[in-house]
């Protein structure tokens, strides 16, 4: 299958490209610059999604049978700082890609990547969130992802394009940058071990329970959705298992090579409005047979080891 990936040299994109290539697909890896370009047989396409004419030219020339749209502004903090740019990148670029697909490859399957954060305050129900639950996004990033998914499916439904909008909950693993709780903890431990920072980790409220999945399991879900005959719609990708932030931190402290001190930072003590946020992936399981297979503790350790090598 000929598959085009946007944001291919990002954290998730690198894993997607590797998995698709391993499964024998013809992969077109799209990125803004040559940093992190892939080796043959993956075909690298260097262009900016903001260039509409170049996007259309790439789709027309490559004629993909499937598209996985990963390119995005995905940092919540940056979304608060510049919500207009976040909306522009996450929503307008998605619509431009859908338009290109409709014009040149109307039989292609398109996977747009949203976020579990689209459900927002609905998580206050305290129950696993399915695709039928209402979305109440509480930050500009989540709002942009909800808008992108809704608009993509509306346009695609009108034009009879097969669009899958996935909502992955928290995912992590080797290669993830800082700015996400697990990679932040792992990187701090690695720096402390290398005496590149003090032995103190400052924390806020650790009681929140969240749904974490290894990025490689998430990628397996995307690939299964691409390979199977799946009807258009929203599909959650999640473990369905809530874990407290305290448990994550305790794991890293227990595996630190030197003693680590934890200090509560009053400025970070903002009680979460949604103490439990966990998803349900029954729809995805019924459609593809997908279930996460990696042990959470093993994934945490692999992430820590990756940061140790990097630091």
**Domain range summary for the chain, segments of one domain joined by +:** 2-173+214-240+277-293, 181-208+243-275+306-310
CATH homologous superfamily of 181-208+243-275+306-310 equals: UDP-galactose 4-epimerase, domain 1 (3.90.25.10)
User: Does the structure show a pLDDT above 70 at 256?
Assistant: yes
pLDDT tens for each residue of 40-90: 999 999 999 999 999 999 999 999 999 999 999 999 999 999 999 999 999
pLDDT tens for each residue of 215-248: 999 999 999 999 999 999 999 999 999 999 999 9
Residue 264 has what pLDDT?
Answer: 86
- Rounded CA-CA distance 14/158 in Å is 32
- Rounded CA-CA distance 150/256 in Å is 44
Element at 2 (helix H, strand E): strand 2-6
User: Does the structure show a pLDDT above 90 at 35?
Assistant: no
Assign 197 a pLDDT band (cuts: 50, 70, 90).
Answer: confident
* 123 and 274 Cβ atoms separated by less than 8 Å: yes
Q: Residue 15, Cα to own-chain centre: how many angstroms?
A: 11
Give percent of the chain with pLDDT exceeding 90: 90
Q: What is the pTM of this model?
A: 0.95
257-294 b/e (C-beta count within 10 Å ≥ 16 → b)? eeebeeeeeeeeeeebebbbbbbbbebbeebbebebeb
CATH of 2-173+214-240+277-293, picked from 3.30.70.980, 3.40.50.720, 3.60.140.10, 3.40.190.10, is 3.40.50.720
74-107 b/e (C-beta count within 10 Å ≥ 16 → b)? bebeebeeebeebbebbbbbbbbbbbbbbebbee
Residue whose entry in the numeric block shows the structure tokens 């976020």: 115
Beta strand 26-31 pairing with 261-264: unpaired
pLDDT tens for each residue of 271-298: 668 999 999 999 999 999 999 999 999 9
């Amino acid at each position: 299958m000929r598959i085009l990936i946007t944001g291919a040299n990002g954290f998730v994109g690198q894993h997607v490209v590797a998995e698709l290539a391993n499964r024998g697909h013809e992969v077109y890896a799209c990125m803004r610059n040559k940093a992190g370009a892939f080796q043959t047989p993956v075909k690298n396409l260097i262009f900016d999604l903001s260039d509409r004419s170049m996007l259309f030219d790439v789709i027309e020339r490559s004629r993909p049978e499937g598209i996985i749209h990963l390119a995005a502004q995905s940092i919540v903090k940056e979304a608060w700082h510049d919500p207009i740019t976040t909306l522009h990148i996450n929503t307008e670029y998605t619509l431009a890609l859908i338009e290109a697909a409709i014009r040149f490859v109307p039989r292609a399957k398109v996977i747009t990547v949203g976020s579990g954060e689209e459900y927002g305050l609905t998580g206050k129900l305290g129950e696993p969130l399915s695709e039928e639950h209402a979305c109440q996004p509480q930050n500009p990033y989540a709002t942009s992802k909800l808008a992108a998914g809704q608009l993509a499916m509306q346009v695609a439904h009108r034009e009879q394009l097969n669009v899958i909008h996935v909502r992955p909950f928290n995912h992590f693993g080797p290669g993830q940058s800082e700015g996400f709780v697990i990679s932040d903890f792992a990187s701090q431990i690695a720096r402390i071990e290398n005496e590149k920072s003090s032995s103190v980790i400052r924390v806020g409220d650790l009681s929140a329970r969240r749904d974490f999945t290894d990025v490689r399991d998430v990628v397996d879900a995307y690939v299964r959705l691409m390979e199977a005959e799946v009807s258009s719609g929203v599909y959650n990708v999640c473990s369905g298992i809530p874990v407290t932030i305290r448990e994550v931190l305790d794991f890293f402290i227990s595996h630190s090579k030197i003693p680590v001190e934890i200090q509560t930072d009053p400025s970070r003590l903002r009680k979460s409005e949604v103490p439990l946020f966990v998803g349900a992936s029954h729809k995805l399981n019924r459609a593809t047979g997908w279930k996460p297979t990696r042990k959470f503790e093993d994934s945490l350790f692999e992430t820590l080891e990756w940061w140790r090598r990097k630091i």
